[in-house]
């Protein structure tokens, strides 16, 4: 609790329940507070650390680009893929990035719908992650194509029976909705930037869509965001798992694989935690991203970890108990065969480490949570690998069993993608506030009252209490 | 990736960074419709395959003068339109980018790969000059021709050339083991056919019929027929060999046997058959000699086959030698004798040991015991293709003197008294200059530096031959060491007669004709020999009076025409091709003129005689007794003649034969000798050929290299098959690198664990480990011949391919 | 419309691989080379893998030629995002190379693992590029597979039309069947009760690979049956 900067305490003064939200353009500007300066500070100034990090990432990304051109030049032969392991790192990355993308919007939408007040500081970074990760997810698929030059044929010759097409449609829908969702929530902030940063008016002015903060605009925004939060949830359901589950490969073809990919949310929370950790430190937002945020998300992470474990256990128990020969082959190669190190590492990173760290009050710190999240992020990537590869390596007819060692091209492109993802994220954080200014503001202005009202709505015997107003009010506040 | 590509890519990367997205179109090549040339006129040409000696008819699809695909010739009696993997990949021999493109003379030192092209005229003049010079020195016998797989007249032509020139040294590399066994039991030196189609019980000793049979497609076809097409009972196939080959796998039963002990098993089976009176008594009584003990004209009593097997080959004793359970022996003997007609096959494997001749004789005796000689379902003597003998070579005095010299390979000498050709002796003779040094060596269709045991020995011997000429169309290991290369056409570019090896009972005479114009400045070796003879003039030229090889062939065809027997194949090469116009069915009509006959012969791919009389015109036995000889008087006479002034016992001693007296003339189990002791080298090295990588030629053909190897193996590589338990004891896992070491040398290859390997036998495929022979063959895997010791069945000169022992260690 | 199908008699097949090479030559299948082959990237529309069971000396080895099963209910066609692999009017599972985007979904969906991908640009050294003009050469990055030598069907149909007759058994035969030295492979119309294949497909020895998946393959196998110790009929 000592991390907060004292200068910000002023902004945190609580207003009384009667405070009304005054909203006109002029008033908006006038109400500009110091605290909000904190949030646009990263946009106004850029430190040496940023440039240093960005150039390192840029080099890695350029190397990845080189690897990609190399692959385009020579074909997919430059990968470690073969028959029967036709899919490898690229598909793993695809599933992984799509997984991460679920973070964002889904978390922010659910939290929003649940009116979880602590969401305010994290929605923006989560939503941004969604949109950016989706692009990289789609990019991973393009990398994986033998003929990326023909990718547009999908629009001309698309075969709707193909789960790949379902996936495409779902991802497109998700991308569209979450982009709109992100953008809507950005508009008031862009308007602030438009007013604050004259030299970037050319960018912010059209984007702000003439936002003045009028009551009507605010009402529209609220309603639209509300609708979008509902819409985005079904759009975010993991369809990509069906790409695997629909075909009769051992251990893919199972009903649990669909929900199992809800593990996406698990990885998304982990990724979000890391992002939060980084921006908190890099942009000095300790006052906005407080330990409570990490604790809450950390607990969510553990919850998801347990659910994930249950799903994993169920999936493997079913296979083991059923004893179908082909699936057993995959099962044993995962648990005790050549993929065992990866599999057990996954178990360690996804269950043991987060459980140990977060269930212990002493280690459930910001750092601890981020470490656990890091473990889960790596673990979920490995989990995707142990879902994709072992099934392909042990096809139903055993004559074509294979081994897969990713090539330097695949590793380079994986690294390049990761670097580029981070880079793009960093750049976005330089263009738009990474913590939603207006939501924080709104929180300051109305949250307490709303929370109070809400609690009053269900607190038994509140009516009695209400009869003795002033004193009890104070009591409540203290 | 080379430097240039790297630069291009780097530039592209920088460019792409500068102009993201714009580069894509340029980088991805637009759809190149690699449409083949506009198809021109299409035709099907009949010819004969020569990827192996099988003699299958082929029908080659030619479009616009370019050969596109090889199919089986539907009207050919051997393969009936079918063709094996090796035959199908034949175009890769024609289109091999590393072929020798014209005559070449060596420039630098031997093997320095510096060559100079020269014209055919110059090349022929050069050879003729060299030969004339040697002849003028009075040493024509120091010229040798080493020939492998020489078909039909191309076997007779070089021999005749040397005859006229004055050398006894026409040395063939082929195995003629069966012929010797038939010679010493039936008195006729010939390969035999097996009438498997009518057989009920097939007992094969070491003969992977389906992979390395004399004519694989014939074997495949027969196999399919026996399995599911023949009405009535299926035939039972039992394969005795140390490795579970595809043949053994597809047999009804595989009987693994200790290497070199097949003879003992055959005699053990004979024991049971004799003891239980299961043999064909009438046949044995009337048509065999030496079954019972007998007295000769001098009243000396001799051991008979019956007493021998009853005394020495009880099942338990045989079981101890062979490792085959006694119960199996008894059961097998019973079934072999009862499920007639039964036939025992003794080719290749079983006899490639130092006791090869006796083993083959012992196995052949099983056929006599069940009366399966010249009966349907038994061993049959082939009917011959009608032929006209060439006039005897007269030759001048120099030629006569040269011809009378002993052979350089010492075949027929006291070293190999019963042998006709011992190619593998050549390096030893040459290195020691025994019986005389060699001045010129011609290599036709053979690659001795690769394909013989102790390949280093051959390489060293080459150093001592002043003039080596290779006729190879490919730069193989031996051609690389030659002084002059006179490249032959490939089999798809040349004329050649191809009489079927006598493994089918009916005679077949195939016509190999060019299906493609010669792609390069190559020339038919027959034409080259005729050219050399002409250039030399004199009696040599007189002995080869033809204009070209096509003329030689026509002479042979004329003999067939005049015999009035048989018929050209009844059909056209387009028959059996999907959607080809049904050809007018050729009638088996008489032909008015030879020209008409020749035209039909060439168009339809050959001639055959569909009629085979089992009670044939020729005599079955040409032995002293006029019967099948269990006790080989022929062998006895031959050994006595070879012993000359010394005793037969002394000769046997020298030849490494343990048996003495009567036993030496009876089929018996002679303990095999091995290279390397069992203590130091615990494993037998069993080399084998698979169906798709036969011999050294297959390595040049990428299709054959690339397809999967079964039952186990590695494409584009060699491997060694080890019994899983034995491997475990040595800590060797599947696909591990292992050292294979014999007393000759060692190399490293990959292990494949194979339960079809015996615990003390390791199996390795032949065909890889080339140091030359073009881009597809060079530098892949290992050549087991490199570490084989030179051992022979010294009596008959068979190479003991399986006599080498090795040890293994994890690399 | 005929329903083209194949019957392979495993009792007759002795694993000689003639079909494999016949197919490669007929269909212009490129040579992958040693390195790519070692990586598991060689293309062979038909393969003859072996199955080895048991321990020395009781070992049983079987050869099972495996090619595209041309399923009546193919799992690969449904998943193709561009419909470039599809079941044509004759029931053959076909692949349109120019519209394949190379996602390799179909290769994974095929439970028989008989679809192949062109990992690199197919290369032929000079002299060796004498292709069968009836069959397209595939570019890099697309999936290919056995077509049952569909081009031969086209030819046979044209010929039959010109000759004003129906297709006869034997007019249309894939290269592998044509070459099979043991005559273990049969090809024809499964719906024609008179055809050899329909007769054999109904034999008691007949089975299909992974029949339980409901793919309805049109390649039938005939079992080997008993050996040596169990006496056969």
Torsion of CA A191, A195, A199, A205, to 10 degrees: 40
Helix-strand-coil split of chain B, %, nearest 5: 35, 15, 50
C53 phi and psi angles, rounded to 5 deg: -125, 150
Compare CB distances from C21 to B85, B217, B756 and report the shortest one's residue. Answer: B85
CA-based nearest residue to C143, from A155, B707, A81: A81
Structure tokens at B15: 């460019």
Domain residues for the domain of A329 are 47-435
Please tell me the distance from the alpha carbon of residue B403 to that of residue B169, in angstroms, as a whole number.
8
The predicted pLDDT at position B678 comes to 93
B→A interface, C-beta within 8 Å = 1, 5, 9-10, 12-13, 16-17, 23-25, 27-28
CA-based nearest residue to A21, from A202, A190, A188, A255: A188
In a domain, A450, yes or no: no
The predicted pLDDT at position A25 comes to 46
Which of the four pLDDT bands, split at 50, 70 and 90, describes residue C225?
confident
Which of the four pLDDT bands, split at 50, 70 and 90, describes residue A471?
low
User: What average pLDDT does range B708-728 have in this prediction?
Assistant: 92
Q: Provide Rg for chain B, Cα atoms.
A: 28
Chain B residues within 8 A of C47 when measuring between CB atoms: 707-708
pTM of the model as a whole: 0.90
Please tell me the distance from the alpha carbon of residue A101 to that of residue A105, in angstroms, as a whole number.
7
Chain C residues within 8 A of B233 when measuring between CB atoms: 232
Q: Provide Rg for chain A, Cα atoms.
A: 24
The predicted pLDDT at position B331 comes to 96
User: What average pLDDT does range B684-692 have in this prediction?
Assistant: 88
CB contact C113 to A (< 8 Å): yes
Task: Specify whether the CB–CB gap between C23 and C45 falls below 8 A.
Answer: yes
Please tell me the distance from the alpha carbon of residue B730 to that of residue C42, in angstroms, as a whole number.
33
In a domain, A426, yes or no: yes
The stretches of chain C forming alpha helices (DSSP H) are 18-26, 34-38, 75-79, 105-109, 150-162, 175-179, 196-201
β-pair partners for C206: C222
- For the cut 60, the answer to whether the pLDDT of residue B12 exceeds it is no
The predicted pLDDT at position C124 comes to 83
C207: left (phi over 0), alpha (psi -120 to 50) or beta: beta
Torsion of CA B373, B379, B383, B385, to 10 degrees: -160
A→B interface, C-beta within 8 Å = 62, 65-66, 69-70, 72-74, 148-149
Q: Compute the C-alpha angle B229/B235/B240, nearest 5°.
A: 130
- For the cut 50, the answer to whether the pLDDT of residue B771 exceeds it is yes
- For the cut 60, the answer to whether the pLDDT of residue A4 exceeds it is no
The predicted pLDDT at position A28 comes to 46
CB contact C84 to A (< 8 Å): yes
Structure tokens at B731: 């800590």
- For the cut 70, the answer to whether the pLDDT of residue A353 exceeds it is yes
The predicted pLDDT at position B617 comes to 52
Please tell me the distance from the alpha carbon of residue B360 to that of residue B348, in angstroms, as a whole number.
10
Query: Which residue reads 């793009």 in tokens?
Result: A424
Please tell me the distance from the alpha carbon of residue A329 to that of residue A345, in angstroms, as a whole number.
20
Comma-separated ranges of CATH 3.40.50.740 domains in chain B:
104-176+388-507+518-566
Q: Which CATH number does B193-380 carry?
A: 3.40.228.10
- For the cut 60, the answer to whether the pLDDT of residue B609 exceeds it is yes
Which range has the worst mean pLDDT, B273-277, B667-671, B720-724, C38-42? Answer: C38-42
Task: Specify whether the CB–CB gap between A86 and A146 falls below 8 A.
Answer: no
Q: Is the peptide bond before B711 cis (omega within 30 degrees of 0)?
A: yes
User: What average pLDDT does range B161-172 have in this prediction?
Assistant: 94
Nearest CA in chain B to A59: B17
Task: Specify whether the CB–CB gap between A128 and A108 falls below 8 A.
Answer: no
CB contact A151 to C (< 8 Å): yes
Pairwise CB contact (< 8 Å): C183 & B706 = no
Task: Specify whether the CB–CB gap between B241 and B208 falls below 8 A.
Answer: yes
The predicted pLDDT at position A254 comes to 87
Instruction: Determine which of C20, C36, C52, C103 to mutate to test the interface with A (most A C-beta atoms within 10 Å).
Output: C103
- For the cut 70, the answer to whether the pLDDT of residue B544 exceeds it is yes
CA-based nearest residue to B31, from A234, C97, A230: C97
Range B683-810: architecture per CATH:
Beta Barrel (2.40)
- For the cut 80, the answer to whether the pLDDT of residue B48 exceeds it is yes
Q: Quick one: what percent of chain B has pLDDT higher than 70?
A: 93
CA-based nearest residue to B248, from C206, C71, A65, C59: C59
The predicted pLDDT at position B395 comes to 82
Task: Specify whether the CB–CB gap between A445 and A12 falls below 8 A.
Answer: no
Query: Which residue reads 């929900």 in tokens?
Result: A259
Q: Among residues 190-229 of chain C, which lie with CB inside 8 Å of chain B?
A: 227-229
User: What average pLDDT does range B706-715 have in this prediction?
Assistant: 87
Torsion of CA A328, A331, A334, A335, to 10 degrees: -100
Which of the four pLDDT bands, split at 50, 70 and 90, describes residue B203?
very high
Which of the four pLDDT bands, split at 50, 70 and 90, describes residue B32?
very low
Which range has the worst mean pLDDT, A449-458, B54-63, B272-281, B362-371? Answer: A449-458
Instruction: Determine which of B9, B30, B706, B715 to mutate to test the interface with A (most A C-beta atoms within 10 Å).
Output: B9
Give how many domains chain A has, as a whole number: 1
Please tell me the distance from the alpha carbon of residue B85 to that of residue B72, in angstroms, as a whole number.
11
Q: Mean pLDDT for chain A? A: 85
- Model confidence over B93-102: pLDDT tens digits? 999 999 999 9
Structure tokens at B130: 């060299």
User: What average pLDDT does range B762-782 have in this prediction?
Assistant: 92
From residue B140, alpha-carbon distances to B137, B399, B441, B586, B684 in Å are: 8, 7, 12, 50, 42
Structure tokens at B33: 């419709």
- Model confidence over B86-144: pLDDT tens digits? 999 999 999 999 999 999 999 988 878 899 999 999 999 999 999 999 999 999 999 99
Task: Specify whether the CB–CB gap between B46 and B73 falls below 8 A.
Answer: yes
User: What average pLDDT does range A63-82 have in this prediction?
Assistant: 94
User: What average pLDDT does range B780-804 have in this prediction?
Assistant: 92
Which residues are CB-contacts of C49 (< 8 A; sequence separation ≥ 6)? Answer: A399, A400, B708, B710, C63, C64, C66
CATH (domain of A187): 1.20.1630.10
Structure tokens at B51: 């990827």
β-pair partners for B205: B240, B346
Task: Specify whether the CB–CB gap between B45 and B62 falls below 8 A.
Answer: yes
CB contact C111 to A (< 8 Å): yes
- For the cut 80, the answer to whether the pLDDT of residue A231 exceeds it is yes
The predicted pLDDT at position A468 comes to 62
The predicted pLDDT at position A386 comes to 93
Q: What is the DSSP string of C85-136?
A: EEE-TTS-EEE-GGG-----HHHHH-TT---EE--S-----TT-----TTSP
User: What average pLDDT does range B679-707 have in this prediction?
Assistant: 86
- Model confidence over A87-127: pLDDT tens digits? 999 999 999 999 898 877 778 888 888 888 888 888 999 99
In a domain, A138, yes or no: yes
Which range has the worst mean pLDDT, A67-71, A395-399, B656-660, B704-708? Answer: A395-399
Please tell me the distance from the alpha carbon of residue A468 to that of residue A380, in angstroms, as a whole number.
54
The predicted pLDDT at position A34 comes to 59
Q: How far does B715 lie from chain A, in Å, by closest CA?
A: 14
Please tell me the distance from the alpha carbon of residue B39 to that of residue B578, in angstroms, as a whole number.
18
Which residues are CB-contacts of B148 (< 8 A; sequence separation ≥ 6)? Answer: B172, B173, B174, B444, B445, B446, B447, B451
Instruction: Determine which of C30, C35, C39, C97 to mutate to test the interface with A (most A C-beta atoms within 10 Å).
Output: C39
Query: Which residue reads 């109400």 in tokens?
Result: A31
Which of the four pLDDT bands, split at 50, 70 and 90, describes residue B175?
low
The distance of Cα B109 from the centroid of its chain, to the nearest Å, equals: 33
- For the cut 60, the answer to whether the pLDDT of residue B446 exceeds it is yes
C62 phi and psi angles, rounded to 5 deg: -120, 150
- Model confidence over A51-61: pLDDT tens digits? 999 999 999 99
User: What average pLDDT does range B474-495 have in this prediction?
Assistant: 94
Comma-separated ranges of CATH 3.40.228.10 domains in chain B:
193-380
Which of the four pLDDT bands, split at 50, 70 and 90, describes residue A10?
very low
In a domain, A388, yes or no: yes
Comma-separated ranges of CATH 2.40.40.20 domains in chain B:
683-810
Nearest CA in chain C to A168: C81
The predicted pLDDT at position B28 comes to 40
Which value does ipTM take for this structure? 0.94
Structure tokens at B431: 């290195």
Which of the four pLDDT bands, split at 50, 70 and 90, describes residue A358?
very high
Please tell me the distance from the alpha carbon of residue B215 to that of residue B635, in angstroms, as a whole number.
30
The predicted pLDDT at position B574 comes to 81
Q: Where do the domains of chain C lie?
A: 4-222
- Model confidence over B407-441: pLDDT tens digits? 999 998 989 999 999 999 999 999 999 899 999 99
Please tell me the distance from the alpha carbon of residue B70 to that of residue B50, in angstroms, as a whole number.
12
In a domain, A472, yes or no: no
Pairs of CB atoms within 8 A across A/C: 141
Helix (H), strand (E) at residue B311: helix B305-312
**Per-residue DSSP letter, A22:** -
Class of domain C4-222: alpha beta
- For the cut 60, the answer to whether the pLDDT of residue A155 exceeds it is yes
Q: Among residues 91-120 of chain C, which lie with CB inside 8 Å of chain B?
A: 98
- B104-176+388-507+518-566 is classed CATH 3.40.50.740: yes
Structure tokens at B605: 């791919």
From residue B809, alpha-carbon distances to A364, B54, B266, B549, B744 in Å are: 56, 39, 35, 53, 16
User: What average pLDDT does range B373-394 have in this prediction?
Assistant: 88
Which of the four pLDDT bands, split at 50, 70 and 90, describes residue A21?
very low
A91: left (phi over 0), alpha (psi -120 to 50) or beta: alpha
Helix (H), strand (E) at residue A393: helix A366-393
In a domain, A116, yes or no: yes
- Model confidence over B517-542: pLDDT tens digits? 999 999 999 999 999 999 999 889 99
The predicted pLDDT at position B683 comes to 97
CA-based nearest residue to B12, from A407, A72, A142: A72
CA-based nearest residue to B632, from B180, B108, B88: B180
Nearest CA in chain C to B712: C50
B278: left (phi over 0), alpha (psi -120 to 50) or beta: alpha
- Model confidence over B548-585: pLDDT tens digits? 999 899 989 999 999 888 889 988 888 777 655 444 44
Please tell me the distance from the alpha carbon of residue A473 to that of residue A466, in angstroms, as a whole number.
9
């Amino acid at each position: 609790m000592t991390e907060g900067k004292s200068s910000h305490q002023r902004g945190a003064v609580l207003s009384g329940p009667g405070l009304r939200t005054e909203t006109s353009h002029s008033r908006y500007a006038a109400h500009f507070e110091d605290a909000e300066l904190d949030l646009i500070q990263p946009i106004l100034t850029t430190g040496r650390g940023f440039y240093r990090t960005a150039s390192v990432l840029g080099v890695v990304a350029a190397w990845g680009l080189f690897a990609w051109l190399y692959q385009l030049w020579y074909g997919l032969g430059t990968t470690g893929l073969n028959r029967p392991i036709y899919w490898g790192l690229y598909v793993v990355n695809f599933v992984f990035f799509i997984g991460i993308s679920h973070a964002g919007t889904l978390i922010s939408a659910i939290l929003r719908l649940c009116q979880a007040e602590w969401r305010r500081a994290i929605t923006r970074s989560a939503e941004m992650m969604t949109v950016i990760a989706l692009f990289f997810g789609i990019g991973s698929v393009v990398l994986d194509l033998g003929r990326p030059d023909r990718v547009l044929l999908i629009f001309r010759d698309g075969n709707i029976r193909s789960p790949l097409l379902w996936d495409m449609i779902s991802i497109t829908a998700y991308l569209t909705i979450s982009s709109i969702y992100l953008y809507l929530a950005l508009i008031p902030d862009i308007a602030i930037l438009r007013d604050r940063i004259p030299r970037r008016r050319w960018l912010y002015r059209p984007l702000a869509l003439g936002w003045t903060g009028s009551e009507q605009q605010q009402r529209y925004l609220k309603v639209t965001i509300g609708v979008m939060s509902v819409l985005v949830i079904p759009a975010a359901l993991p369809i990509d798992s069906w790409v695997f589950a629909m075909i009769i490969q051992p251990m893919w073809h199972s009903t649990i694989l669909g929900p199992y990919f809800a593990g996406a949310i698990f990885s998304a929370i982990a990724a979000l935690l890391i992002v939060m950790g980084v921006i908190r430190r890099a942009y000095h937002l300790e006052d906005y991203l407080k330990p409570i945020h990490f604790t809450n998300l950390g607990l969510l992470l553990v919850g998801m970890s347990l659910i994930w474990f249950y799903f994993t256990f169920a999936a493997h128990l079913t296979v083991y108990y059923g004893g179908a020969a082909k699936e057993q082959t995959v099962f044993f190669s995962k648990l005790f065969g050549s993929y065992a190190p990866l599999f057990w590492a996954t178990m360690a990173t996804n269950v043991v480490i987060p459980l140990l760290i977060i269930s212990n009050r002493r280690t459930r710190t910001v750092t601890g949570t981020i470490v656990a999240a890091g473990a889960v992020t790596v673990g979920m990537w490995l989990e995707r690998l142990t879902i994709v590869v072992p099934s392909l390596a042990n096809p139903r007819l055993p004559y074509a069993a294979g081994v897969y060692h990713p090539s330097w091209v695949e590793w380079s492109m994986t690294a390049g993608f990761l670097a580029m993802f981070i880079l793009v994220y960093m750049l976005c954080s330089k263009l738009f506030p990474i913590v939603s200014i207006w939501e924080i503001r709104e929180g300051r202005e109305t949250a307490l009252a709303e929370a109070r009202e809400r609690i009053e709505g269900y607190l038994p015997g509140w009516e009695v209490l209400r009869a003795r107003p002033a004193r009890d009010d104070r009591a409540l506040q203290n | 990736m080379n430097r240039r590509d790297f630069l291009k890519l780097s530039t592209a990367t920088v460019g792409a960074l500068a102009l993201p997205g714009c580069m894509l179109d340029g980088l991805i090549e637009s759809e190149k419709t690699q449409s083949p040339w506009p198809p021109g006129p299409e035709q099907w040409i009949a010819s004969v395959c020569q990827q192996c000696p099988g003699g299958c008819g082929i029908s080659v699809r030619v479009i616009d003068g370019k050969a596109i695909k090889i199919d089986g010739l539907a009207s050919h009696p051997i393969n009936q339109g079918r063709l094996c993997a090796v035959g199908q990949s034949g175009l890769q021999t024609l289109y091999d980018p590393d072929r020798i493109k014209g005559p070449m003379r060596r420039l630098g030192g031997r093997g320095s790969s510096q060559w100079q092209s020269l014209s055919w005229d110059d090349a022929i003049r050069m050879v003729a000059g060299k030969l004339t010079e040697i002849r003028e020195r009075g040493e024509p016998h120091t010229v040798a021709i080493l020939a492998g797989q020489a078909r039909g007249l191309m076997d007779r032509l070089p021999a005749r050339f040397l005859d006229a020139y004055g050398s006894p040294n026409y040395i063939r590399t082929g195995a003629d083991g069966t012929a010797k066994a038939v010679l010493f039991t039936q008195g006729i030196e010939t390969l035999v056919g097996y009438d498997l189609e009518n057989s009920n019980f097939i007992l094969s000793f070491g003969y992977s019929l389906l992979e390395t049979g004399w004519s694989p497609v014939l074997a495949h076809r027969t196999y399919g027929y026996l399995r599911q097409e023949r009405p009535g009972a299926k035939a039972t196939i039992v394969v005795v060999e140390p490795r579970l080959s595809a043949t053994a796998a597809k047999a009804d039963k595989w009987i693994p046997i200790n290497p070199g002990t097949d003879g003992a098993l055959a005699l053990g089976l004979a024991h049971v058959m004799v003891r239980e009176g299961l043999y064909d008594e009438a046949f044995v009584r009337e048509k065999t000699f030496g079954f019972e003990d007998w007295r000769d004209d001098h009243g000396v009593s001799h051991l008979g086959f019956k007493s021998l097997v009853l005394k020495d080959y009880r099942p338990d004793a045989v079981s101890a030698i062979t490792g085959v359970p006694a119960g199996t022996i008894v059961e097998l003997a019973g079934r072999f004798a009862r499920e007639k007609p039964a036939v025992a096959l003794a080719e290749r494997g079983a006899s490639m040991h130092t006791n090869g001749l006796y083993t083959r004789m012992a196995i052949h005796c099983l056929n006599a015991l069940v009366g399966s000689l010249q009966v349907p379902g038994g061993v049959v003597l082939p009917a011959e293709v009608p032929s006209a003998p060439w006039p005897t070579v007269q030759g001048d005095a120099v030629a006569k003197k040269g011809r009378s010299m002993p052979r350089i390979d010492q075949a027929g000498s006291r070293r190999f008294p019963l042998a006709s050709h011992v190619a593998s002796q050549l390096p030893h003779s040459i290195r020691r200059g025994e019986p005389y040094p060699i001045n010129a060596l011609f290599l036709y269709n053979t690659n001795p530096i690769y394909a013989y045991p102790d390949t280093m020995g051959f390489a060293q011997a080459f150093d001592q031959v002043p003039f080596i000429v290779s006729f190879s169309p490919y730069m193989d290991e031996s051609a690389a060491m030659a002084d002059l290369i006179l490249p032959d056409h490939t089999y798809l570019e040349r004329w050649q007669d191809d009489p079927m090896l006598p493994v089918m009972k009916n005679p077949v005479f195939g016509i190999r004709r060019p299906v493609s114009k010669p792609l390069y400045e190559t020339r038919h070796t027959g034409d080259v020999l005729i050219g050399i003879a002409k250039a030399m003039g004199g009696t040599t030229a007189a002995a080869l009076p033809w204009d070209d090889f096509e003329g030689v062939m026509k002479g042979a065809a004329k003999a067939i025409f005049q015999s009035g027997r048989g018929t050209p194949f009844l059909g056209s090469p387009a028959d059996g091709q999907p959607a080809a116009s049904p050809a007018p069915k050729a009638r088996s009509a008489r032909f008015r003129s030879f020209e008409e006959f020749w035209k039909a012969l060439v168009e339809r791919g050959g001639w055959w005689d569909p009629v085979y009389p089992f009670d044939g015109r020729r005599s079955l036995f040409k032995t002293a007794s006029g019967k099948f000889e269990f006790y080989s008087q022929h062998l006895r006479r031959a050994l006595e003649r070879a012993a000359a002034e010394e005793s037969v016992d002394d000769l046997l001693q020298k030849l490494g034969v343990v048996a003495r007296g009567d036993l030496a003339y009876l089929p018996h189990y002679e303990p095999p000798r091995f290279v390397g002791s069992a203590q130091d080298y615990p494993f037998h090295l069993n080399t084998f050929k698979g169906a798709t990588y036969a011999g050294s030629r297959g390595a040049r053909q990428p299709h054959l290299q690339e397809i999967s190897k079964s039952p186990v193996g590695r494409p584009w590589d060699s491997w060694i098959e080890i019994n899983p338990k034995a491997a475990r004891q040595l800590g060797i896992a599947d696909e591990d690198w292992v050292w294979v070491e014999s007393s000759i040398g060692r190399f490293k290859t990959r292990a494949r664990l194979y339960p079809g390997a015996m615990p003390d036998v390791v199996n390795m495929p032949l065909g890889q480990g080339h140091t030359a022979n073009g881009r597809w063959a060079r530098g892949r895997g290992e050549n087991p011949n490199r570490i084989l010791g030179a051992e022979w069945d010294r009596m008959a000169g068979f190479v003991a391919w399986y006599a080498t022992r090795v040890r293994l260690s994890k690399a | 419309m005929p329903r083209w199908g194949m019957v392979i008699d495993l009792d007759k097949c002795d694993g000689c691989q003639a079909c494999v090479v016949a197919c490669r030559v007929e269909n212009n299948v490129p040579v992958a080379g040693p390195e790519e082959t070692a990586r598991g990237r060689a293309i062979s529309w038909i393969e003859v893998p072996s199955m080895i069971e048991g321990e020395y000396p009781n070992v049983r080895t079987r050869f099972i030629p495996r090619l595209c099963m041309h399923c009546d209910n193919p799992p690969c066609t449904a998943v193709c995002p561009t419909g470039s692999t599809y079941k044509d009017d004759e029931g053959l599972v076909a692949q349109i190379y120019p519209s394949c985007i190379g996602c390799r979904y179909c290769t994974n969906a095929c439970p028989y693992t008989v679809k192949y991908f062109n990992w690199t640009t197919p290369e032929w050294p000079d002299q060796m590029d004498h292709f069968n003009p009836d069959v397209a050469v595939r570019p890099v990055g697309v999936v290919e597979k056995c077509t049952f030598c569909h081009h031969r069907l086209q030819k046979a149909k044209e010929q039959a039309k010109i000759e004003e007759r129906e297709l006869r058994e034997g007019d249309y035969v894939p290269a592998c069947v044509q070459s099979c030295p043991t005559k273990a492979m049969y090809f024809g119309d499964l719906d024609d009760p008179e055809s050899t294949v329909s007769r054999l497909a109904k034999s008691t020895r007949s089975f299909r690979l992974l029949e339980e998946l409901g793919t309805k393959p049109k390649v039938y196998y005939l079992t080997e049956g008993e050996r040596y110790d169990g006496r056969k009929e």
